[in-house]
Amino acid sequence: MVMMIDIIHNYLVELEAVIRAISRAEVEAVVAALLENWRDRRQVFILGNGGSAATASHMANDLNKFTIVEGQPRFRVMALTDNVPLLTAVGNDLSYADIFVEPLRNWLQPGDLVIGISASGNSPNVLKAVTYAQAQGARVVGFCGQPGGQLAQLADLKVIIPSTKIGPQEDGHMILDHVISLALREAIRADAVKR
């Protein structure tokens, strides 16, 4: 029982340190980009694998629902992780590396924003999608773990969770979802008051 208590304590202490070390400037830059995207009535696409796929779906939910302000336009957000038939058809008929780029070929417009979530920053399907997105004139945000991998190098904006461990990295990405959604809701409310 003592070892279990130590594991719980150590994980939470480490997570507290990771959260304190997240760059507030990086998060603020992402909020500003999303707010600009909302003001321009552009689409947001979010993608990732495994736990990052779950975060992509959760973030799409929160940006679509949590940011609703009466009388204001709504965010238009799609998690490319949510259409399992399309993901599996592309994965089966083409390759797993194409599961995100193929839907983007259908929906992405210049000026849209793509959020790629990858703890390693080196997921081939995420990299292929963000490279395509940038070539089409979209802006790319990367949510990565430390050190950030290729996604951090490719992204126009990035937030690196300062941990080399998958658990705190994924926890940090969920925290980004919530803090970004909250900040955007308040910014949209402020816009409503100005009008």
Residue 2: what pLDDT? 65
Catalogue the E-assigned strands of the chain: 43-48, 76-79, 113-118, 139-145, 157-161
For tokens 């999608």, the residue is: 129
Q: Is the pLDDT of residue 195 over 70?
A: no
Digit-coded pLDDT (tens) for 58-98: 999 999 999 999 999 999 999 999 999 999 999 999 999 99
- Those residues whose C-beta lies under 8 Å from the C-beta of residue 74, and which sit 6 or more positions away, are 64, 67, 68
What are the beta bridge partners of residue 45?
78, 114
Query: What is d(CA 106, CA 75) in angstroms, rounded to the nearest whole number?
Result: 19
What is the average pLDDT across 128-157? Answer: 98
Indicate the DSSP class of residue 62: H
Residue 193: what pLDDT? 76
Residue 5: what pLDDT? 86
What 3-state class would DSSP assign to 115?
A: strand
Residue 176: what pLDDT? 98
Query: What is d(CA 18, CA 37) in angstroms, rounded to the nearest whole number?
Result: 29
Sorted by where each starts, the structural domains of the chain and their CATH numbers stand as 2-194 (3.40.50.10490)
4 — pLDDT class (breaks 50, 70, 90): confident
Report if pTM > 0.85.
yes
Number of H helices and E strands in the chain, helices first, is: 8, 5
